């Protein structure tokens, strides 16, 4: 099961990234869980300095970018 | 090069709507149509092109670069990077914390955060095309200067002593060993995707501001008599500059909204210095941004920051008015 985390303080980009990630996971047909991390301390602890950020199974996959579902799907499979 | 937009506006106003030349309505509408179409066209071209160039620049690289740099150079570089690095202001606090954790001096981080909202591709494009290259260069120069000086002064005031407990908490929490994917070099296609993405997200964010700003500018252009502004504010009365700055700081506007307004004001005789001060203070700071900064800055530091911005922009306005540009 893939653990997908969306790091962001809550602006529209973060929400959109979450939606795109969900869509990507659905298309990929994998088992997943999505978590939104909005706590600043948590985000900093993960070493992220530009949001929104996408973390999959503990690996920072992208920071500061709003990825399209196709691009996210590539990271999931 | 831009006459096509004038012609388009001429066509719409005098032919399609059949309005009389010289009336206030015709004047306003013409201004509106010409400016909106011109701005949209320019934005599309420039956001894409600059997005293309910037695709490989990100804040993580900037942070790596700034670590350990001597202060004076740090302020310059911080400000310059702030100008050119793609950066969403919602990221301000994560960036602030990330830079601080890397032991980058507060002033350098602030140089980046001050200049970042002031100088961006939208502002440059609009200034250059609507107000001329000279004004654009002035704006860029002062935007950089504001970052450099602002950062320097904050450090001199020992701003680092006035950070909130949150900052210390984050420092202590440290960074977990979360791995980061190796940075890959970008292909042409990657750049295109990034540039297209930037175009989409920035345009979506900005198109309403353009309408609002040009709308306001159009009303000013058509309905506010030149004499009014010239009489009351045209001689660069000393109080009009800080007044403009104090009005501008809490206002929230994108560059795209404020520049058409500035164009109108200038056209009506508002002095260059006053206009510049107003523009800089509007884009450089806002209520939302101060709310964000409250998380990392104690009230005293927020006050210092506010006063520094007000003083710098007021001085810039006064100097420019005196020099009679």
pLDDT mean across residues, chain B? 85
**B267-321: pLDDT as tens digits:** 888 888 899 999 899 888 888 888 889 989 999 999 999 999 999 999 999 988 8
Cβ–Cβ contact B151 with A under 8 A: no
3-class state of residue A7 by DSSP: strand
Instruction: Tell whether the model's pLDDT for residue B41 goes beyond 60.
Output: yes
Report the alpha-carbon distance of residue B258 to residue B261 in Å, rounded. 5
Q: B180 in helix, strand or coil?
A: strand
CB contacts under 8 A, B 278-317 vs A, are 295
- CA-nearest residue to B200 within chain A is A66
Task: Find the closest chain A residue to B98 by CA distance.
Answer: A49
Mean pLDDT of B33-44: 88
Partner A contacted by B3 (CB < 8 A): no
pLDDT at B304: 93
Out of A56-70, B9-23, B148-162, B248-262, give the one with best mean pLDDT. Answer: B148-162
CB contact under 8 A, B63 and A40: no
- What is the share, in percent, of chain B residues with pLDDT greater than 70? 95
The per-residue pLDDT for range B56-74, each reduced to its tens digit, is: 788 888 998 999 899 999 9
pLDDT of B157 over the 90 cut: yes
Helices within chain B (DSSP H only): 3-10, 24-54, 59-66, 71-84, 92-101, 106-118, 121-126, 133-156, 165-173, 188-223, 226-233, 240-248, 255-267, 272-284, 287-293, 299-322
Phi, then psi, of A5 in degrees rounded to 5 = -120, 135
Q: Say if strands A53-56 and A32-37 run parallel, antiparallel, or are unpaired.
A: unpaired
Which of A44-53, A57-66, B223-232, B315-324 is least confident? B223-232
Tokens of B70: 């001597």
Provide the pairing of β-strand A59-63 with A53-56.
antiparallel
Q: What number of residues does chain A have?
A: 77
What is the Cα–Cα distance from B217 to B267, expressed in whole angstroms? 10
Handedness of CA B62, B67, B73, B74 (dihedral sign): positive
Q: Which pLDDT belongs to residue B178?
A: 47
Give the pair of three-digit tokens for residue B233.
């504010």
Determine the Cα–Cα distance for residues B214 and B15; give it in Å rounded to an integer: 22
Q: What is the pTM of this model?
A: 0.84
Q: Searching chain A, which residue's CA lies closest to the CA of residue B101?
A: A44
Q: Per the structure block, which two tokens stand in for B93? A: 């606090």
Over residues B170-185, the pLDDT tens digits come to 888 777 644 454 455 6
- Point out which residues pair with A53 in neighbouring strands: A7, A63
Among A17-21, A30-34, A51-55, B12-16, the range scoring the smallest mean pLDDT is: B12-16
Position B179 scores a pLDDT of 43
What is the distance between the alpha carbons of residues B223 and A3, in angstroms, rounded to a whole number?
59
Give Cα A56 distance to the centre of its chain: 7
Distance, CA of B312 to CA of B271 (rounded, Å):
17
* A65 contacts on B by Cβ (under 8 Å): 194, 197
CB burial class (10 A; 0-12, 13-18, 19+) of residue A21? buried
For residue B63, which of A18, A33, A64 has the smallest C-alpha distance?
Answer: A64
> Does the CB of B182 have a partner CB in chain A at under 8 Å?
no
* pLDDT per residue as tens digits for the range B231-270: 777 776 788 899 989 988 888 777 778 888 888 888 888 8
Size of interface A-B (CB pairs under 8 A): 92
User: Considering only B115-119, B208-212, B317-321, which range has the smallest mean pLDDT?
Assistant: B208-212
Phi-psi region of B237 (alpha: psi -120 to 50; beta: other; left: phi over 0): beta
C-alpha pair distances (Å), B59 with each of B29, B55, B56: 42, 12, 10
How far is B117 from B282, CA to CA, in rounded Å? 10
Of A24-28, B129-133, B145-149, B277-281, give the range with the top mean pLDDT: B145-149
- Tell me how far CA of residue A47 lies from CA of A40, A44, B173, in angstroms: 11, 5, 11
């Amino acid at each position: 099961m893939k653990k997908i985390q969306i790091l962001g303080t809550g602006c529209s980009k973060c929400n959109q990234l979450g939606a795109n990630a969900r869509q990507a996971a659905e298309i990929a047909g994998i088992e997943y869980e999505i978590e939104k991390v909005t706590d600043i301390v948590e985000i900093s602890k993960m070493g992220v300095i530009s949001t929104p950020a996408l973390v999959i199974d503990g690996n920072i996959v992208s920071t500061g970018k709003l990825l399209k579902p196709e691009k996210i799907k590539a990271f999931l499979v | 090069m831009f006459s096509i937009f004038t012609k388009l506006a001429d066509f719409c106003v005098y032919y399609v709507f059949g309005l009389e030349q010289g009336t206030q309505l015709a004047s306003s509408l013409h201004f509106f149509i010409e400016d909106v179409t011109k701005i949209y066209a320019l934005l599309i071209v420039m956001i894409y092109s600059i997005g293309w160039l910037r695709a490989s620049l990100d804040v993580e690289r900037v942070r790596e670069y700034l670590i350990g740099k001597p202060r004076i150079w740090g302020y310059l570089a911080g400000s310059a990077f702030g100008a050119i690095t793609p950066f969403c202001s919602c990221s301000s606090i994560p960036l602030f914390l990330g830079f601080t954790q890397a032991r980058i001096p507060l002033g350098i981080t602030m140089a980046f955060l001050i200049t970042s909202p002031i100088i961006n591709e939208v502002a440059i494009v609009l200034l250059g095309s609507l107000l001329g290259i000279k004004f654009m260069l002035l704006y860029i120069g002062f935007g950089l200067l504001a970052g450099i000086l602002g950062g320097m002064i904050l450090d001199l005031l020992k701003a680092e002593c006035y950070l909130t407990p949150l900052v210390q908490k984050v420092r202590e929490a440290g960074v977990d060993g979360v791995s980061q994917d190796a940075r890959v070099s970008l292909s042409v296609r990657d750049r295109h995707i990034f540039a297209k993405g930037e175009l989409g997200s920035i345009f979506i964010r900005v198109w309403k501001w353009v309408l609002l700003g040009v709308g306001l500018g159009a009303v000013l252009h058509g309905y506010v008599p030149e004499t009014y502004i010239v009489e009351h504010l045209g001689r660069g009365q000393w109080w009009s500059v800080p007044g403009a700055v104090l009005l501008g700081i809490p206002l929230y506007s994108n560059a795209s909204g404020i520049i058409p307004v500035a164009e109108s004001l200038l056209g009506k005789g508002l002095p260059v210095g006053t206009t510049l001060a107003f523009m800089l203070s509007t884009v450089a700071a806002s209520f939302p941004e101060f709310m964000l900064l409250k998380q990392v800055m104690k009230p005293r530091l927020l006050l210092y920051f506010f006063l520094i911005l007000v003083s710098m922009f007021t001085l810039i306005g006064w100097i420019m008015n005196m020099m009679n540009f």
